[in-house]
Homo-oligomer: A and B are copies of this chain.
Amino acid sequence: MHTGSPQSTERIVAFQGERGSYSEEAALSYFGLKIGFLPCRTLRLVFEAVESGRADAGMVPVENSLEGAVAETYDLLEASSLSVCGEFNLRVRHCLITNLGVKIEDVKRVYSHPQALAQCRRFLEKIGVDPIPYYDTAGSAYLLKKEGLKDAAAIASRRAAEIYNLQILAESIEDSPNNYTRFLLIGKADHEPTGKDKTSLVFTTKHLPGALYAALGVFAKRMINLTKIESRPTKQRPWEYNFFVDLEGHRLDVNVSEALEELKSYTLSSKILGSYPKAEQ
């Protein structure tokens, strides 16, 4: 019989970055307040936490609508035994954050995750400060606090400013309002069918002209909509690729299941990463 602590029935969700990161925000939005959190320094550690059972699920960024794929997440998904069991689209609003009392003209450099710096490139050029890459958005806010920096700022979420008791000098500083990050929820099993699902898979094609075309044909002829295709190096041999595909439908739907079976005749290897309820945009 299970005799854990009072918290033991809560789900623990692992994510990359410090408290106040966008991944934590995505997990909160997905599950509501009744979850436990496990911040991890790297994406690899998020996967390891779920594999080992220390966390019940992981919330990992896979794609940003401006900057594109999070390559490391794709590579970890390919290598892992975990399944994708959910997705969530987060509207990313960046804030320029400093210690209390710092004025914008005092700011000489700005710390943040390289993707966040890239998303605010024009804003940073306008105020004329040096971008300094750091491992995490919320971590860069915490760095300001810990070191008491008076000539530096961080780019992070409103939530990060609140958690670390810092001030917000400017809000929504991202160059484009079309700034969404798509997160995947990973766990030991995928999700049962709901009727509005997506399926993620990865495959490598045979070394023949038209091999990718033939592979995609198994979906096209069944009118299965592909929402995303991403190629990543296999790392086994230069210029050979894994293709990651997201499609509409559940792997247990008849047409998807038939397509996935037929796909095997056009691929050297293929793996279903999981089926899960489609996010509301």
Residues of A within 8 A of B (CB): 64-68, 71, 89, 114, 133, 176, 178, 180, 182, 209-210, 212-214, 216-217, 219-220, 223-233, 235-239, 241, 281
Question: Which chain B residues border A217 with CB–CB below 8 Å?
Answer: 213
Does the CB pair A210–B220 fall under 8 Å? yes
Does the CB pair A65–B239 fall under 8 Å? yes
Name the residue on B nearest A221 (C-beta): B210
Q: Are A227 and B209 also in contact (CB < 8 A) when A65-B233, A66-B233 are?
A: no
Does the CB pair B231–A239 fall under 8 Å? no
Contact residue among B67, B214, B219, B231 (Cβ-Cβ distance under 8 Å from A220): B214
Does the CB pair B180–A238 fall under 8 Å? yes
Report A268 CB to chain B, min CB distance, Å. 16
Does the CB pair A228–B231 fall under 8 Å? yes
Does the CB pair A223–B210 fall under 8 Å? yes
Question: Which chain B residues border A182 with CB–CB below 8 Å?
Answer: 239
Name the residue among A68, A89, A214, A236 with the largest chain B CB count within 10 angstroms: A68
Report A169 CB to chain B, min CB distance, Å. 24
Report A201 CB to chain B, min CB distance, Å. 16
- CA of A241 to CA of B68 in the docked complex: distance in angstroms? 9
- CA of A217 to CA of B213 in the docked complex: distance in angstroms? 7
Report A186 CB to chain B, min CB distance, Å. 20
Using A180-B238, A209-B225, A238-B281 as known contacts, list a sample of 13 further A-B pairs with CB atoms less than 8 Å apart, ordered by residue number in A: A68-B231, A89-B238, A114-B114, A133-B133, A178-B238, A180-B239, A210-B219, A212-B229, A213-B216, A213-B217, A228-B231, A228-B239, A229-B231
Name the residue on B nearest A210 (C-beta): B220
**Top 9 A-B pairs, shortest CB-CB distance:** A210-B220, A65-B238, A213-B220, A133-B133, A209-B225, A213-B216, A180-B238, A68-B71, A209-B223
Q: List 10 A-B contacts (CB under 8 A).
A: A65-B235, A65-B238, A65-B239, A66-B233, A68-B233, A114-B133, A209-B224, A213-B219, A216-B216, A230-B231
